[in-house]
Amino acid sequence: MDLILLPKQPEGLSLEKIYHRALSRSKELYIVSAYLTGWGIEEPIGNQCESFLFIVGKDFGITRKNACRAVLKWLPADRHQEFMVAESINGFHPKAMFWRELDGKCYALLGSSNLTKAAFSTNYEANGFSAITDEQFALSSEWIEQVHGVSVTLDETWLNKYEEARQPARGGKPKADEPVDGEEVYHLPLPAIRKLKGYQPYLEQRRDQMKIFRRRRAELEALFRATSKARNWNEARSDDFYYKLSSLWFFGEEGSRFQGKGWERKGRNSDFRELSKSLVHVLDAPFASRDSVVIREINRLTQLRIPTRGALFSEMLCQFFPKHYFVLNSPVQDWFAGLDFSFPRGLSKGERYVNRARLLRAALDRAENYPAENLAELDCIIWLASI
C-alpha cells in the first residue's frame, strides 16, 4: 500500500493523479464520501466507465449544497441519476473510492481527504492507495450495493429540502446545538397499518404469489430471452407469446400475477419482442447501473409507444427484483399524488419511475416493524389503503 501523507506530496504520487487514473481507466467506479463540502475535480469521467455510483452522506448538515451542484454540473446529464445521497443512513462516515480498470485489476483509495482543493494540498491528511484482490473488490461492491439500496437521487428537489448546518461567524466557534441532526430529508409516510384491518390474508396471498413466481422464474426468463432474439414480429408471434406467458404467469389459481386484468385490452398484440429486449437488458445489468438501464429502457419503450411498457414491464421488474422496483399501477400513482412531494421538472418517465422506487426503498428501510418486507409486498399494502 502507498501512503499519501499531506500536505507534503509523495514523489510522483498525488491524489489528483489517482483520481485522474480512476476516472480515465475504470470500468466500474464507486465513490463514497461522508460529506461533501467542496468539489475540486475537473477531470471528466470517461466513456469507458460502465458502472458508476457517487454516494454522499447528509449527517449534521455538513454537506454543502453548492458542492453538490458543482458535482451535478461536472457529471454528464445521463449520469445525474448515479449521484445519490445516503438518505436513510445515520452514521454514514466513509471516505473511499473503489474501482476496476479495463484490464480487470482492482484498486482502492481510502483516507481522510475530502474532495476539495485544500484536502488535496494544504490540509493535513492521511490516505492509503493500493491494488486489491477480486475478492476484496467483490466485498466492497456488496457493501456499496447495500448503501445504494437505501439511498435516493441527489437532485434539486432533495437540495431544496435539505438544511445545511449554519456556519459559525468568522473567528467564532459553533454552538453545541448548531448541527442539525441526521434525520432524512424526505419524510415519505407509508400507509398506516393500524387503519388497515385484516391485511394479513392479503399479504400472505402476495407472498404465495411471489413463491409461485420464484418456482417459474427460470422458465419465464427463458421465454423473455428467446422472445428478445426473434428476428421479426407479427400477430401470430404475439399470440404465441401471450399464451406461453399466460400459462407460466397468471392462468388459474396458481398464478403469480399481482395486477388484475387490464393491459391485455390494449397490449395483447403488443410488440413483446421489444419489451423482452428491455427486460433482458435489465436482467443482465450489474447492480450499480441497473437503475440507469431501467430508466433507459422505460424511455425507449415510451418512444416506441409499446402499450405494455407500464403495467406489464413494471410488474416484471417488481417480480424479478421485488426489493428494488414497484408495480406502476393506479393505487401507487394515486398514493404518490396525495403526498406533499414534487419531482424536478423535465424528468423523463424512466427517471420519475426510478426516483419513486428509490424513495420507496429508503422509506421501507427506515420503517420499524413494518409488515411489508419489500416493494412487492408494499404494493399490496398501498392497494389495500386505496380501497
Q: Report which of residues 186 and 212 the model is more confident about.
A: 212
pLDDT for residue 172 is more than 60? no
In a domain? residue 177: no
Kindly report the CATH number assigned to the domain that includes residue 151: 3.30.870.10
pLDDT for residue 116 is more than 70? no
> Which whole number is the average pLDDT over 46-73?
93
In a domain? residue 310: yes
Please say which residue of 139, 161, 183 terminates a domain.
Answer: 161
In a domain? residue 272: yes
pLDDT at residue 107 in the model: 97
Domain count, the chain: 2
In a domain? residue 52: yes
Q: Would you put residue 171 in left (φ > 0), alpha (ψ -120 to 50) or beta?
A: left
pLDDT for residue 176 is more than 50? no
pLDDT at residue 53 in the model: 95
The verdict on 313 and 199 lying in the same domain is: yes
* Confidence label for 174 from pLDDT (cuts 50, 70 and 90): very low
User: 236, exposed or middle or buried, with CB in 10 Å at 0-12, 13-18, 19+?
Assistant: exposed
The verdict on 353 and 208 lying in the same domain is: yes
- What is the full DSSP assignment across 231-269? S---HHHHHHHHHHHHHHHTSSTT----S-S-HHHHHTT
The verdict on 199 and 270 lying in the same domain is: yes
| Calpha distance 89→112 (Å, rounded) | 20
Which residues span the domain enclosing 124?
2-161
- What is the full DSSP assignment across 271-288? -HHHHHHHHHHHHHS-HH
* Confidence label for 75 from pLDDT (cuts 50, 70 and 90): very high
> Which whole number is the average pLDDT over 75-87?
93
In a domain? residue 215: yes
Q: Which among 349, 353, 350 has a CA at the least distance from the CA of 328?
A: 353
Distances from the Cα of 97 to the Cαs of 32, 174, 236, in angstroms?
6, 30, 51
pLDDT at residue 175 in the model: 47
Please say which residue of 138, 161, 184 terminates a domain.
Answer: 161
> Which whole number is the average pLDDT over 356-367?
91
The verdict on 370 and 269 lying in the same domain is: yes
Cell of 366: 427506515
Q: Provide the terminal-to-terminal Cα distance of the chain, rounded to the nearest Å.
A: 60
In a domain? residue 175: no
pLDDT for residue 249 is more than 60? yes
pLDDT for residue 285 is more than 90? yes
Above pLDDT 70, what percent of the chain? 89
> Which whole number is the average pLDDT over 198-220?
93
> Which whole number is the average pLDDT over 204-230?
94
The verdict on 371 and 251 lying in the same domain is: yes
In a domain? residue 315: yes
pLDDT for residue 186 is more than 80? no
* Confidence label for 178 from pLDDT (cuts 50, 70 and 90): very low
The verdict on 131 and 262 lying in the same domain is: no
The verdict on 16 and 157 lying in the same domain is: yes
In a domain? residue 169: no
pLDDT at residue 148 in the model: 94
The verdict on 149 and 224 lying in the same domain is: no
The verdict on 127 and 222 lying in the same domain is: no
> Which whole number is the average pLDDT over 238-248?
86
The verdict on 121 and 56 lying in the same domain is: yes
| Mean predicted lDDT score pLDDT of the chain | 86
| Calpha distance 49→29 (Å, rounded) | 7
The verdict on 67 and 145 lying in the same domain is: yes
Cell numbers 421479426 label which residue? 232
Q: Report which of residues 306 and 300 the model is more confident about.
A: 300
> Which whole number is the average pLDDT over 121-127?
78
The verdict on 290 and 244 lying in the same domain is: yes
